[in-house]
């Protein structure tokens, strides 16, 4: 198994407004350089280009739409993401869902441009469906646990191991991540023990009083 990944989704929290996302990316870069940890950051869309240009940590977009360059006010095309210097994207987060067919189009278009895709799923059934599109990662996140204080690995470990099995039955090349309530290194360790390849988290880092300490704890097991 290759090294587990920790993807930090900044969402649009107040802490990452202005230079906040760049500052968090700098912390991630420092920890990554020092420890060799596989860290990825997803800044707010309006900060994507700046963070991608300035940061030494891999940068993902928070979302993508199945659009080619042209008219499409308010949408984000794979081509635009590629042009910022970002190396991948999330898609179908529970806060920004898409029809499965659109997810498939996004994955295909991103692959053509060499962008890595992490598709999000609420359930193991949806995860298995999305696995048919062959994204590099699928992150399972029960929406009722997102932003909470109890990790999915504690509240619902079966959804993690079940998703690993369900996705593996469709496409063994797709790596499964888990998220929702993930806060510390023990949660990462539990996720890996359940068969996941890493975690996707947001508030546990972004809203922390000491984000660097949290990040170091998250990657301590890795």
Query: Among 31-40, 136-145, 159-168, 196-205, where is mean pLDDT lowest?
Result: 136-145
Cite the active site residues: 93, 141
CATH number of the domain that residue 183 is part of: 3.20.20.70
What's the domain range around 49?
Answer: 5-220
Q: What percent of the chain has pLDDT over 90?
A: 87
Q: Evaluate whether 102 touches 119 at the Cβ level (below 8 Å).
A: no
Q: For residue range 98-148, list pLDDT tens digits in order.
A: 999 999 999 999 999 999 999 999 999 999 999 999 999 999 988 887 777
Q: What is the pTM of this model?
A: 0.95
Q: How far is CA 17 from CA 49, 80, 208, in A?
A: 14, 21, 15
Count structural domains, the chain. 1
pLDDT value at 1 more than 60:
no
Q: For residue range 39-94, list pLDDT tens digits in order.
A: 999 999 999 999 999 999 999 999 999 999 999 999 999 999 999 999 999 999 99
């Amino acid at each position: 198994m290759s090294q587990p990944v920790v993807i930090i989704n900044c969402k649009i929290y107040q802490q990452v407004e202005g230079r906040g996302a760049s500052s968090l990316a700098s912390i991630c870069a420092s920890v990554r350089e020092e420890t060799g940890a596989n860290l990825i950051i997803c800044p707010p869309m309006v900060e994507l280009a700046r963070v991608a240009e300035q940061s030494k940590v891999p940068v993902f977009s928070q979302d993508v739409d199945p659009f080619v360059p042209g008219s499409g006010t308010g949408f984000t095309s794979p081509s635009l993401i590629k042009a910022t210097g970002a190396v991948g994207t999330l898609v179908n987060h529970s806060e920004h869902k898409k029809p499965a067919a659109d997810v498939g189009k996004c994955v295909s278009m991103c692959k053509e441009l060499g962008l890595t895709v992490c598709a999000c799923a609420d359930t193991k059934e949806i995860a298995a469906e999305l696995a048919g599109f062959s994204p590099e990662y699928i992150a399972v996140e029960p929406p009722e646990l997102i932003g909470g204080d109890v990790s999915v690995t504690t509240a619902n470990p079966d959804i993690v191991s079940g998703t690993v099995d369900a996705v593996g039955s469709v496409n063994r090349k797709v790596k499964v991540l888990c998220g929702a309530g993930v806060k510390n290194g023990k949660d990462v360790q539990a996720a890996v023990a359940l068969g996941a390849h890493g975690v996707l988290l947001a508030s546990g880092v972004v809203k922390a009083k000491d984000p660097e300490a949290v990040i170091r704890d998250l990657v301590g097991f890795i």
